[in-house]
Structure 1
Amino acid sequence: MSYVNRSTVEWQSAIGENIRDARIAREMDQQTLADRASVNRVTLSRLENGDTTTVATLIKVIRALGREDWFDSLDETGGGLSPLALARQESREPKKRQRVSRKVQAS
């Protein structure tokens, strides 16, 4: 199935399955992962079953699994600085003074 044509429920189910698979691959039970993510075990179970949870819960669980790389696909900059961050950085750098050419000074 195309990613574009997935419903919200299908996305929730697919994400839950990926989380469950990652947890099992690490030989963790739900309680251990829930403790590491600082979430309730029932909340983790709901996430794994494709039920509605918060984005904060999803982020906590993904971090507890050590799978922050899953967020890379959401980063439009490809891991580099965003245009806004680049502009902020450039505005903090001291400006270089431009020199007037000697020909202009002699006039």
Structure 2
Amino acid sequence: MPFVENIDVATDQWESRLGAQVRSLRLEHGSDQQSLARLADVSLSSLKNLENGRGSTLRTLVRILRALDAASWLDTLAPEPTVSPLDVLRGQAETPRRRVYRPRKSV
């Protein structure tokens, strides 16, 4: 089955939204693009691409957020799971799973 993208929000729309949020963080921080790019050790064009939603690398995003003292923002993107939904369904929420079990092959 081919990969089906979220119908409501396309990748380029997510990039634009993310770029707008990074731009907002930069402005709140009081930095211009050139100063922030230098502080984050990324090229000015990489920062501009990120802010304009034209694609960027994860490395650039992380460096920019760290330079803006906003690295904790990444935790909102991928929070650490505390309880597995499958374990809750199985009634095992108290004991975290330590390994994956695979069915044995019959001989």
- Give the TM bin, normalised by the shorter chain: 0.5 to 0.7
Task: Indicate whether 1:76 and 2:84 are aligned.
Answer: no
How far apart, in 1, do the equivalents of 2:43 and 2:56 lie? 11
Match of 1:33 among 11, 31, 36: 36
Indicate the residue corresponding to 2:60 in structure 1. Answer: 57
> Structure 1 counterpart of 2:79, which letter?
D
Residues 1-107 of structure 1 mapped to structure 2, 5 A cutoff? 5-73=8-76, 74-77=78-81
Query: What are the superposed Cα offsets for residues 46-95 of structure 1, whole Å, 9 maximum, x if unpaired?
Result: 110001111111111111111112111212236xxxx68xx6xxxxxxxx
Query: What are the superposed Cα offsets for residues 6-45 of structure 1, whole Å, 9 maximum, x if unpaired?
Result: 1110110001001111111111100111011100011101
How far apart, in 1, do the equivalents of 2:19 and 2:47 lie? 9
Question: Given the two structures, how large is their TM-score scaled by the length of structure 2?
Answer: 0.66
How far apart, in 2, do the equivalents of 1:33 and 1:45 lie? 11
With over 3 angstroms needed to count, the CA separation of the structure-2 counterparts of 1:75 and 1:49, relative to structure 1, is: same
Q: Tell me which stretches of 4 or more aligned residues in structure 1 moved more than 2 Å.
A: 75-78
- Stretches of structure 2 lacking an aligned partner (at least 5 in a row): 1-5, 83-95, 99-107
Which of 1 and 2 has greater Rg? Answer: 1
Q: CA RMSD in A?
A: 2.1
Indicate the residue corresponding to 1:92 in structure 2. Answer: none
> Structure 1 counterpart of 2:58, which letter?
V
- Segment drifting more, 66-75 vs 49-58: 66-75
- Stretches of structure 1 lacking an aligned partner (at least 5 in a row): 88-107
